[in-house]
Amino acid sequence: MMRWQWRRRWLQWGAWLAFGGLLFLCAWGFVWEPSQLVQRDYVVALGDLPPECDGLRIDVLADIHTGSPNNDLAKLDRIATAVAGGDADVVLLAGDYVILSVFLGKYVDAAVVARHLRPVTSRKQVYGVLGNHDWWKDGAKVRASMEGAGVTMVDNRSVRVEAGGCTFWLAGIGDLWEGRPDIAAAYAGIPEDGRPVIALTHNPDLFPELPARTSLLVAGHTHGGQVTLPLVGALVDPSKLGDRYSQGHVEEGGEHVFVSPGLGTSILPVRFGIPPEISRLTLRRAGAK
């Protein structure tokens, strides 16, 4: 009888510990981590980078999704202040400034989001493309709002960028799902002048289709899966290619893509193991010392 009572007591304690652990994980994933903001540095070594571009700094903001829980305008102001005060030569916005829907979220109009990005555009060269959520909420209106705040939108076109002593071409490509991506149009105005070509799009699944002369593709969309567990990885495949381009710097056959895990949330307001991130890229010439 005594043995059974002790077993029952251990089972009760185990149940309470499991319940407490579940509450902790929920608090972490639904409240604590989505409210955080990290600035993570990446060094991307490119073989075709000219000496004058060695050390070029680029900040990447993706999937801002302002209005998702723990991701309000005050959080956007923190992001804008951090980026505006940073040392990046160029800022790239990889789309999804608004949200279609997220549990317990509140839609924030693109014009409001754009207004809160003005501290960045007043001090930096800022270029952007639209994401699928932006198109779902009237892409033309979102584009006009961003342009009105000083963002140069480059969907399906290219621009010549001069920054930090480096000159490169930026090829913007429309969103794979909703933006009618036109790679040919994006590259049509880029001469064969030997300057680096950096591509910007929302969905990284376009990476295998880009011309070989692309030095680097910058993208977002995946949120890094939003939930990543040790030894397991992302619980949700963030693209049709699974976790092939889920986050960070990936090199395939000498070609490079960088996928930012982003800042906001979509569908469920949870992040676990993937805190909201300002991605800080430093481009280096491969083999340079």
55 phi and psi angles, rounded to 5 deg:
95, 0
Q: Give the integer Cα–Cα distance in Å for 263 and 275.
A: 8
* Strands of the chain, DSSP E: 38-46, 57-61, 90-93, 125-128, 152-153, 157-163, 166-172, 197-200, 216-219, 228-229, 233-234, 248-252, 255-259, 277-285
Which superfamily does CATH assign the domain made up of 36-285 to?
A: Metallo-dependent phosphatases (3.60.21.10)
pLDDT digits (tens, 9 = 90+) for 239-281: 666 667 788 999 888 899 999 999 998 888 888 788 999 999 9
User: pLDDT per residue over 96-150, tens digit each?
Assistant: 999 987 888 889 999 999 999 999 999 999 999 999 999 999 999 999 999 999 9
Is the predicted pLDDT of residue 3 greater than 70, yes or no?
no
Q: What phi-psi label fits residue 160: left (phi over 0), alpha (psi between -120 and 50 degrees) or beta? A: beta
Which of 31-35, 124-128, 177-181, 234-238 has the highest average model confidence (pLDDT)?
124-128
Query: How far, in Å, CA of 141 to CA of 150, rounded?
Result: 15
pLDDT of residue 8: 65
How many other CB atoms sit within 10 Å of the CB of residue 245? 24
Q: What is the pLDDT of residue 253?
A: 83
**180-219: per-residue pLDDT in tens?**
999 999 999 899 888 999 999 999 999 999 999 999 999 9
